[in-house]
Amino acid sequence: MMTGQGTLAVVIGGGNGIGEETARLMAERGWRVVIADRDPAAADRVAADVGGAAVTLDIADAAAVDAACAAIEAAHGPVGALVVAAAVFQDVLPPAELPLAVWERTVQVNLSGTYYANRAFGTRMAHHGRGSIVNIASIAAIGSVPVHAYASSKAAVVSLTLNLAGEWGRAGVRVNAVSPGSTLVPRVAERIKSGRYAADPAEFTALGRIVQPREVAESIEFLASDRASAITGINLVVDAGWHVAGTWAQYGGVRPAPVRTVTPAGAAG
């Protein structure tokens, strides 16, 4: 399936995790991909693998984002799609123990950085009369979880997405968000393996498993592409049913699948 048709896509945070998986998928689907990441080695590695270009970028630096946007367009032409996957997480701490520096850095990267990127690239897209932006939020944005800085910043990303979808819709720019649940990226895999989670996240999903990075990437690439040409201002939740199953815990949890009876081939009905 070739859906990019040579359109230029910039994936910020494309050097690892969901961003990396998205960059790889977009390249497979015919997009020309620029990998922007704070880690130059990671950006170079992914860009080399997918035949794209690499840019070193700290999304929390507004001037650097503006400069990167201008440089990318000068070198590669108009940007047709922007994916903002760069983010920082936090430890699970009560408010009294969460350092203010952690709060400020989390909001600066996750919310302000997303805004800087949307502002820089979205404004240029609006002038060109065409473009698509996909911001990565989180399931934490729509539930109650004890990661106060992270969840608040991601909830604000959802709000920002809705606002910019209204702002730029008549200019031909679509803006959407994807909210992944627990996704098996290296950071989450390490937390599960080390026992840093109190329980297996899969226990709290309707599907009984956590999300694979490719599944999130598929949703992102769809929203970025012309297959989603009438979709703007949505927050697409990709969480294996965490938000629908979590409240079942007090009732004993999600029911297991019924035992399937398989009739051997050729047996009488």
Three-state SS at 51: coil
Compute the distance between CA of residue 148 and CA of residue 150 in angstroms, rounded to an integer. Answer: 6
Give whole-number Cα distances, 123 to 164, 171, 174, 175, 210, in Å.
10, 10, 12, 12, 36
CA atoms within 13 A on the CB side of 169: 14
Could you identify the residue written with the tokens 């979590």? 246
The DSSP H or E segment spanning 22 is helix 17-28
Give whole-number Cα distances, 249 to 102, 204, 244, in Å.
31, 8, 11
Q: Which long-range contacts (CB under 8 A, 24 or more apart) does 89-92 make?
A: 89/147, 89/150, 89/187, 90/147, 90/149, 90/150, 92/146, 92/147
Residue 87 near residue 19 (C-beta atoms within 8 A): no
Give the residue numbers annotated as catalytic, written as ranges. 150
